[in-house]
Structure 1
Amino acid sequence: SVLKNGKVLAIDGYGESGDLLSTELYDPSTGHWTITGSLNQPRWNSTACLLNDGRVLTIGGWLFEQDPLSGTELYDPSTGN
């Protein structure tokens, strides 16, 4: 999701150890990635929506080798969580 400040939020994913909890910000002006906050529930292949107030809502996704997730989480760029 592209945030209002122009940075890109990468939320969820899958790595060698399974589903990721970490969230990262990419700054296209510098080309740098920064780890910011973490998810409460590891997930991959979720949907993220930028809300009018600047927060990002992530919906659904999958848990490693499990059933689909139905929960949601909010990311607030002002707090990094």
Structure 2
Amino acid sequence: MVIKGIDYKKCTACLKCYKLCPMDVLSYEEKTVKIKYAEDCQSCYLCVYECQSDALKVEPNRPIDIYDVYNRKLV
């Protein structure tokens, strides 16, 4: 799964998602939370569960193929 977007009309910039993300997917720049490394999202949903304004969107499909160390497609 991967984080798809932030609805900035709903986002209050409380920074809960930014502080909770264990993979450092989000960044805080210019007083705004932004998606910096979407491909690193591990679908833990911490950001979605903690967002009181329901501003984050996570979808079940990865936009990229994932390969193991032997170059075999995993997903």
Give the TM-score taking structure 2 as reference length.
0.29
Q: Which protein has the bigger strand share? A: 1
Q: Which has the larger radius of gyration?
A: 2
Q: TM-score, structure 1 length as denominator? A: 0.27
